[in-house]
Amino acid sequence: MDLSKAKWRKSSYSGSNGGACVEVASAHSGVVAIRDSKNPTGPVLIISASDWATFLQAVKTGSAA
């Protein structure tokens, strides 16, 4: 999957101190790309937008284990 034009973003909770952050990008219709902000040329995890939404909801409600 070509991610060269992906618009990566970090959480607004991420500080500028280079902490342990992830970046996400809407890669193509229906999928989300996730990478380590400290290693932008490293591996990328691709998941469905539906799975990403489920994960975010679980984090927000505290039900993520």
Taking the domains of the chain in order of start, what are their residue ranges? Answer: 21-61
pLDDT in tens, 6-54: 899 987 777 666 667 889 998 778 899 999 988 889 999 999 999 999 9
Q: Is the pLDDT of residue 55 over 70?
A: yes
Four-point Cα dihedral 26, 31, 21, 57, nearest 10: 110
What is residue 4's predicted lDDT score, i.e. its pLDDT? Answer: 84
Four-point Cα dihedral 41, 45, 47, 49, nearest 10: -40
Q: Residues 35, 53: contact at Cβ < 8 Å?
A: no
What is residue 46's predicted lDDT score, i.e. its pLDDT? Answer: 95
